[in-house]
């Protein structure tokens, strides 16, 4: 090989090196040429963590990746900045889909995605049930049943799968009684029964952790006439008096008195740093700036805090809203999010986890997400085959075992695990 040939080869390889090396470096740094916009741009990515595991991720209808078996997560890299249609699928499960924007040098995340079964299996747990109450630890259910001698309470132990007798109407009084209300103690060891008997209302305590069971009448300490509502929060006690002022441990909270009305029910609710006052069906929120209660929502049914204590769901007969109690992602504390409006009455709502809600609207069981990037998705859940078609059946989601309980026409149904 002559010196001239060697020189020519050297210059060729030098040229190729100078051409390829920058391209290689740019490629390794995530740069790609965007032919649509005719420019060099840096790519982004998409991260997913799902339950169940081993789901398929489709991007613009093409299979991009599957989540791993151990963590149920996947990272899709080198995506040009634009909007993509993301679909997450698994056989036997409802599909999740959303248009998400991928930005330069950023990874868009969906960390708590859940796919729910297309056909949820239900079994009848027990029959002849008029009403049911879950204990706070979600390990026991108190069942109200009707017998020949009147109503009776049974205790169903979910761990042992045993139903046992608690107490019956005639054991309280031979003259007959009305079960007006039932509550558990916070430790799930006691039942508080409000009983109507002989034109009186009495409250009894039934201890569940002692045998034989003993029914003891509870002495009610009368609430001062000037106190309209009270609520204990940790070691603090809040109360509203008839002057319209709310006090926290004897210290006045609001400078402007709330215009209280006679013969109206008031309730105080405290979540994190948010203080609510419910007047009938109207919800008011305390404003630290004005030191007064301002109307927040009308025709309120209920409000419930999420498992992570960062969000609050509040709803009417037809609308569902979310209030963010703490900063989360792009949402700021105090920001509201409208979820959806429904034509049929919303009966009750439960948090499945901190990103999904389950509720019944008329005779329909529905799950809805709270991720408002693109449209908010709602899925219909197939009811039990012998459901009976009863409108607004009573439902309860047990967060401990992740099962749904439905009371319809005397049958208490229980589902398989939702996720």
**Cβ contacts of residue 281 below 8 Å, gap of 6+?**
298, 299, 300
pLDDT of residue 13 exceeding 60 = no
Q: Is residue 287 part of a domain?
A: yes
Q: How confident is the model at residue 213 (pLDDT cuts 50, 70, 90)?
A: confident
Q: Is residue 396 domain-shared with residue 313, that is, in the same domain? A: yes
DSSP output for 147-178: ETTEEEEEEEETTTTEEEEEEEHHHH-TT--E
CATH code: domain of residue 348: 2.130.10.10
pLDDT of the residue at 330: 87
Q: Is residue 237 domain-shared with residue 385, that is, in the same domain? A: yes
Picking from 217, 233, 250, the residue at the C-terminal end of a domain is 217
Q: Is residue 371 part of a domain?
A: yes
How many domains are contained in the chain? Answer: 3
Picking from 217, 245, 274, the residue at the C-terminal end of a domain is 217
Chain centroid to CA 165: how far? Answer: 33
Q: Is residue 81 part of a domain?
A: yes
Cα angle for residues 195, 199, 205 (degrees, 5° grid): 20
pLDDT of the residue at 28: 47
- H or E segment at 22? helix 3-28
Contact criterion met (CB below 8 Å) for 310 and 354? yes
**Cβ contacts of residue 391 below 8 Å, gap of 6+?**
362, 363
Please report, for residues 65, 113, 214, 389, the alpha-carbon distance to residue 218 in angstroms, rounded to integers and kept in the order given.
Answer: 62, 47, 12, 40
- pLDDT of 170-207, one tens digit each? 999 888 899 999 999 999 999 999 999 888 899 999 99
* Percent of the chain topping pLDDT 70: 89
What is the average pLDDT across 105-132?
Answer: 94
Q: Is residue 283 domain-shared with residue 321, that is, in the same domain? A: yes
Q: In what order do the strands lie in the sheet with 162-168?
A: 129-134, 140-147, 150-157, 162-168
Buried b (16+ CB within 10 A) or exposed e, 196-207: eeeeeebebebe
pLDDT of residue 388 exceeding 60 = no
Q: How far is the C-alpha of 63 from the C-alpha of 73, rounded, in Å? A: 15
Q: Is residue 19 part of a domain?
A: no
Q: How many CB atoms lie within 10 A of CB 32?
A: 15
- pLDDT of 51-94, one tens digit each? 999 999 999 999 999 999 989 999 999 999 999 999 999 999 99
Picking from 58, 81, 114, the residue at the C-terminal end of a domain is 114
Q: Is residue 24 part of a domain?
A: no
- Which residue is associated with the tokens 């069971």? 213
- pLDDT of 333-374, one tens digit each? 999 999 999 999 999 999 999 999 999 998 889 999 999 999
Can you give the residue range of the structural domain that contains 54?
32-114
Q: Is residue 7 part of a domain?
A: no
**Cβ contacts of residue 228 below 8 Å, gap of 6+?**
240, 241, 242, 260, 266
- Model-level pTM? 0.88
Instruction: Tell me the two tokens of residue 216.
Output: 């003891």
Q: Is residue 247 domain-shared with residue 388, that is, in the same domain? A: yes
């Amino acid at each position: 090989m002559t010196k001239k040939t060697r020189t020519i080869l050297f210059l060729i390889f030098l040229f190729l090196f100078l051409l390829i090396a920058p391209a290689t470096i740019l490629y390794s740094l995530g740069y790609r040429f965007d032919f649509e916009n005719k420019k060099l741009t840096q790519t982004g990515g998409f991260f997913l963590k799902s339950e169940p595991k081993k789901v398929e991720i489709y991007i613009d209808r093409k299979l991009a990746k599957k989540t791993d078996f151990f963590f149920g997560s996947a990272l899709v890299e080198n995506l040009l900045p634009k909007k993509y249609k993301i679909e997450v699928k698994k056989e036997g499960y409802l599909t999740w889909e959303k248009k998400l924007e991928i930005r330069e040098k950023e990874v868009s995340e969906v960390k708590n995605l859940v796919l729910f079964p297309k056909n949820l299996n239900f079994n009848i747990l027990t029959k002849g049930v008029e009403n049911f109450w879950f204990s706070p630890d979600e390990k026991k259910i108190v069942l109200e049943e009707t017998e020949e001698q009147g109503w009776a309470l049974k205790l169903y132990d979910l761990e042992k799968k045993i139903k046992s007798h608690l107490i019956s109407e005639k054991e309280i009084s031979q003259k007959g009684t009305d079960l007006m209300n039932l509550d558990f103690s916070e430790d799930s060891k006691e039942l508080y029964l409000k009983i109507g008997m002989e034109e009186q209302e009495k409250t009894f305590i039934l201890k569940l952790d002692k045998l034989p069971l003993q029914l003891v009448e509870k002495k009610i300490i009368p609430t001062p006439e000037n106190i309209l509502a009270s609520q204990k929060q940790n070691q603090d006690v809040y109360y509203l008096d008839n002057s319209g002022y709310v006090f926290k441990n004897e210290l006045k909270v609001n400078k402007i008195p709330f215009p209280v009305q006679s013969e109206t029910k008031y309730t105080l609710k405290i979540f994190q740093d948010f203080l609510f006052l419910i007047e009938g069906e109207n919800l008011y929120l305390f404003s630290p700036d004005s030191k007064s209660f301002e109307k927040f929502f009308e025709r309120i049914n209920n409000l419930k805090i999420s498992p992570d204590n960062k969000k609050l769901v509040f709803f009417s007969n037809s609308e569902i809203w979310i209030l963010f109690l703490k900063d989360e992602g792009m949402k700021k504390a105090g920001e509201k999010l409208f979820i959806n409006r429904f034509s049929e009455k919303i009966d009750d709502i439960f948090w499945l986890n901190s990103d999904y809600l389950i509720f019944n609207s008329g005779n329909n069981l529905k799950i809805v997400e709270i991720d408002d990037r693109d449209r908010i998705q709602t899925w219909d859940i197939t009811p039990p085959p012998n459901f009976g078609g009863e409108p607004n059946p009573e439902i309860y989601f047990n967060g401990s075992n992740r099962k749904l309980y439905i009371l319809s026409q005397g049958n208490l149904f229980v589902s398989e695990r939702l996720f």
